[in-house]
Structure 1
Amino acid sequence: MKSCVTIALVPSIQTGPWIYWHDLSTSMAKAADLGFDAVELFTPSADAVSIDRLMALSNQFGLDIAAVGTGAGKVLHGLTLTDPDPAVRSRAVAFISDMITFGARFGAPAIIGSMQGNAVPGVEKEQALDWLAEGVNILGKRAEEQGVNLIYEPLNRYETNLINRLEDGVTFLKSLEARHVVLLADLFHMNIEEVSLADSIRSAGSYTGHVHFADSNRRPIGCGHTALTDVAAALKEMDYQGYISAEAFPWPDPDEAAKQTIAAFKQYFG
């Protein structure tokens, strides 16, 4: 298992569950100094960060790019894969496709979280799930062509009414034609939805391809009441070898949050 910390690079967003903010070079330098293996990026678009610059920084600091988030497609442009308007769904697919291509240059998968959207009033859930599957099938095949996986993230009930638990995420993935799609096990969302975080991870097994490392209150691990010992045991039992990525609030500040995160990672996975 490898440690990872998040960096938000969207100037118009000032709050959210990312540890480092805005300054890519400084953030990567700090992550490297603390001993993180990788960074996960949240960018406004696929062309917001120069490929050459990111490659140079990755080499300079010895950090991998673990994944790229796509949530700016919804936050900035209102795009989701389940919008009733087919033109909006098409633009959502195009936005995520561009992010897949960007991430693939670094072997990094793109994450579909908030861009999955919702079954809005007047749309049956089954129809929204069909639209979601249609988009994820297209994008999963695109990821395969680029030599990476696509990551799908179940979210808690307050963020989506589609798929909230890992078990339902597995069922969804099994229904797809695309085979290069994996689940993101986000411990914050799971704390709301799952009866047992550890048992849910065990049941999902190899379908889990990425883990978001945040406590029950979405602060860094160790600042809430999530029982990490059982979660760590479950991940070790299934021989999980992916990233443990801190998508958490920068509490009390980014530097302290990063220090707390790497200390927790070493405690449970080191």
Structure 2
Amino acid sequence: MPHPIHPHQSPPQRINMTFKSAITVSLVEEARGGPFVYWDGLKDACEKSAALGFDAIEIFAPGPNAVDEAELKGLLQEHGLVVAAVGTGAGMVKHGLSLTHAEADHRAKARDFVKQMIDFGGKYNAPAIIGSMQGKWGGDISRDQALAFLREALDELGPYAAQYNVPLFYEPLNRYETNLLRTVDEGVEFCKTLSTDNIKLLADLFHMNIEEADLAAAIRAGKGYVGHIHFVDSNRQAAGMGHMNHEPIIQALKDIGYDGYLCAEAFALPDSDTAARNTIEAFKRLTA
């Protein structure tokens, strides 16, 4: 339970009025061991993240009906949290769906799954994320054809998300996870080819550490397109646990007027509680 506020005690102040902190919780058993901080249910994640001072949680759920709406709304209200975003990766991890699959019926099922996740997140004003569901090109599908399929999907899904007054986040991934778009610049150029303007980029510092020559410069070049940050270190552990220099990155985010979430999509190393604590301490230090 939250600590009571005494009559003459001021409410706790937010650490920073520009950046907001968030932390990931996975409900997908098939992904256990992946880069998510909390794994033991929404109640556990909400209690612990609120106690540390996080503003929000990012939910990785098996599907749109995996979360009890009344339970989640109650937990958010009780702990003063919101939902920063919802992942769609279970569509790939659990159901094997890809937006760039060769078969039209398969792609339609993938788009329908994303729509259902958009509906789920929309109840909490939370954007959905397209990451692993973007798929890859290869075999009978050329890169141009795969990008055409991805463009078709985003042009359908972006306007669908707009009914909830939220964007749809598209995440460039590193070379070991996709062979489509891997840098912020490639993401920006691709967004310019879309008919919808409701797609924003998720800039994940782990992926960027592999693909970008200069992370701060990449963020500045993404001005107007970067809508969400996965806030981690070079080894995909909590910020401060690797060799990444976060200060220029934070300055670049300030320079582009970014006012969204810095969300820990990090390995629970050495354990969830330590990873969460290390993240919030880095957040305080870097954004003070």
Question: For this structure pair, what is the TM-score category when the shorter chain's length is used for normalisation?
Answer: over 0.9
Choose which of 184, 189, 198 in structure 1 pairs with 2:207. 189
Question: Can you give the 5+ residue segments of structure 1 that lack an aligned partner in the other structure?
Answer: none
Return the alpha-carbon distance in structure 2 between the equivalents of residues 11 and 126 of structure 1: 34
1:124 offset after TM fit, Å?
Answer: 0.8
Distance 2:199 2:69 in 1: 24
Partner-residue secondary structure (3-state), 2:45: helix
1:21 alignment partner, one of 39, 42, 46: 39
User: How far off is 1:52 after superposition?
Assistant: 1.5
**TM-score of the superposed pair, with normalisation by structure 2:** 0.93
Q: State the AA in 2 paired with 1:245.
A: C
1:129 alignment partner in structure 2? 147
Alignment correspondent of 2:4: none
The Cα of 1:46 is off from its aligned counterpart by 0.6
% same residue: 49
CA contact (8 A) 2:131 2:170 kept: yes
On the 8 A contact 1:10/1:22 being kept in 2, the answer is no
Counterpart position of 2:101? 83
Q: Deviations over 1:69-117 (max 9, x none)?
A: 0000000111010000111100000000000011011100000000000
Counterpart in 1 of 2:177?
Answer: 159
Q: Work out the CA distance in 2 between the residues paired with 1:120 and 1:86.
A: 16
How far apart in 2 are the matches of 1:233 and 1:157? Answer: 27
Q: Separation in 2 of the partners of 1:14 and 1:76? A: 12
Could you list the structure 1 runs, at least 4 aligned residues long, displaced by more than 4 angstroms after superposition.
Answer: none
> Counting helix residues as a fraction of each chain, which structure ranks higher?
1
The 2-side partners of 1:175 and 1:59 are apart by 40
**Number of aligned pairs?**
270
| TM-score normalized with structure 1 length | 0.99
Which residue identity is paired with 1:28?
C
Mapping 1:84-103, distance limit 5 Å: 84-103=102-121
Q: Which residue of 1 aligns with 2:165?
A: 147
Q: 1:26, CA displacement in angstroms?
A: 1.2
The residue aligned with 1:248 is: 266
Instruction: Say which of 142, 154, 168 aligns to 2:186.
Output: 168
Q: Which amino acid in structure 2 is aligned with residue 124 of structure 1?
A: S
Q: CA RMSD in A?
A: 0.7
Aligned AA for 1:4? A
Task: Encode CA deviations 1:14-37: one digit per residue, 9 max, x unaligned.
Answer: 210000003210111000000000
